[in-house]
Amino acid sequence: MPKIVIVGTGRIAWHLGRRLKAKGLPIAQVVSRTAEHAQALADTLHARWTNEWADVLPDADWLLIAVRDDAIAEVGAALAPHAPDALATHTSGATPGAVLQPHFRRFGVFYPLQSFSYEHSPVWSKIPFCVDAPTNEDVLFLKKIAKTIGNLVYRVDDGQRAFLHVAAVFANNFANHCFTIAEKILEEKDLPFEMLHPLMEETLAKALRDSPARMQTGPAVRGDADTVQRHLALLRSHPEWQELYQKLTMDINPELPF
């Protein structure tokens, strides 16, 4: 049974900690700069906690570092002198695993490709886990953990994961921003956003069934310049949305005249 230490108390830390514990992999310790946050998560996981880097368990087997991307290197440097033999991994999609190399002999990545929120329990069997480490032994350890708490496990190196994260931003963050704009447009005209729910569901279902490029519909792909111009006119009071509409339309069909 590995001695697992979770570093961080954000959404990923909460979800991973609870899932690991539920699957028979208890958390030995929670480490966070903020004592209140560390204690809250530790109480949930029935684990020890500390807000002092120097108090991390020196015999920890695995440091699961779930902090902001811009804090990973700093946190790794602070922990390394106190748990030098641990396998240290972060959970970031955009940050190279090598950011931990200056501080740890054993390092890697344990990245669940999902958007986590406190309000929603994830479906773990559908979450891809991207793992990587310099040694096959550590890769096998991470794969075994991922298989225990999930189902889909991939070895993804730093270069691949960087592009995977860019793709995820388009598929998730940018798509959700477009949903937000659509909701605001309807709010301004006293129309319920629920009217678009069936369309959104069908769009995603088709994209999952086949190539999204082949499933593309709408005025841009049809070359319907008149409809595009009418839409741009309707968005005149929101020039930022108008510009985004035009850029996306041109990306779908560069031959449309503007």
Please indicate, yes or no, whether residues 136 and 64 belong to a single structural domain of this protein. yes
The predicted-structure confidence for 165-191, as pLDDT tens digits, reads as follows 999 999 999 999 999 999 999 999 999
Please indicate, yes or no, whether residues 8 and 107 belong to a single structural domain of this protein. yes
Number of compact structural domains in the chain: 3
This prediction's pTM? 0.89
| Among candidate residues 57, 35, 48, 43, the one with its CA nearest the CA of residue 14 | 43
Please indicate, yes or no, whether residues 134 and 83 belong to a single structural domain of this protein. yes
258 pLDDT above the threshold of 90: no
Q: Look at residue 160 in the predicted model and tell me its pLDDT.
A: 97
203 neighbors 179 (Cβ within 8 angstroms): no
- Of 156, 172, 200, the residue at which a domain comes to its end is 156
Please indicate, yes or no, whether residues 57 and 165 belong to a single structural domain of this protein. no
The predicted-structure confidence for 206-231, as pLDDT tens digits, reads as follows 999 999 999 999 999 999 999 999 99
Please indicate, yes or no, whether residues 31 and 123 belong to a single structural domain of this protein. yes
Given the DSSP bridges, would you call strands 106-112 and 128-132 parallel, antiparallel or unpaired? antiparallel
Asked if residue 258 belongs to a domain, the reply is no
Please indicate, yes or no, whether residues 56 and 90 belong to a single structural domain of this protein. yes
Q: What three-state secondary structure class fits 68?
A: coil
32 neighbors 51 (Cβ within 8 angstroms): yes
Please indicate, yes or no, whether residues 227 and 182 belong to a single structural domain of this protein. no
Percent of the chain with pLDDT over 90: 96
CATH of residue 67: 3.40.50.720
112 neighbors 129 (Cβ within 8 angstroms): yes
End-to-end Cα distance, the chain = 63
Mean pLDDT to the nearest integer, 112-135? 94
Please indicate, yes or no, whether residues 180 and 138 belong to a single structural domain of this protein. no
Q: Look at residue 194 in the predicted model and tell me its pLDDT.
A: 98
Taking the C-alpha atoms of residue 41 and residue 6, their distance in angstroms, rounded to an integer, is: 10
pLDDT band at 1 (very low <50, low <70, confident <90, very high): confident
The predicted-structure confidence for 48-65, as pLDDT tens digits, reads as follows 999 999 999 999 999 999
36 neighbors 30 (Cβ within 8 angstroms): no
Q: CA angle, 103 as apex, 98 and 107 as ends, to 5°?
A: 50
How many CB atoms lie under 10 A from the CB of residue 58?
A: 12
Please indicate, yes or no, whether residues 59 and 115 belong to a single structural domain of this protein. yes
pLDDT band at 118 (very low <50, low <70, confident <90, very high): confident
Please give the residue range of the domain that contains residue 184: 157-215
Taking the C-alpha atoms of residue 144 and residue 199, their distance in angstroms, rounded to an integer, is: 39
Render 39-56 in DSSP notation, one character per residue.
Answer: HHHHHHHT-EEES-GGGS
Asked if residue 197 belongs to a domain, the reply is yes
Structure tokens at 83: 């748990």
Please indicate, yes or no, whether residues 209 and 224 belong to a single structural domain of this protein. no
pLDDT band at 195 (very low <50, low <70, confident <90, very high): very high
Q: Which residues pair with 108 in a beta bridge?
A: 89
Q: Look at residue 103 in the predicted model and tell me its pLDDT.
A: 97
Taking the C-alpha atoms of residue 94 and residue 97, their distance in angstroms, rounded to an integer, is: 9
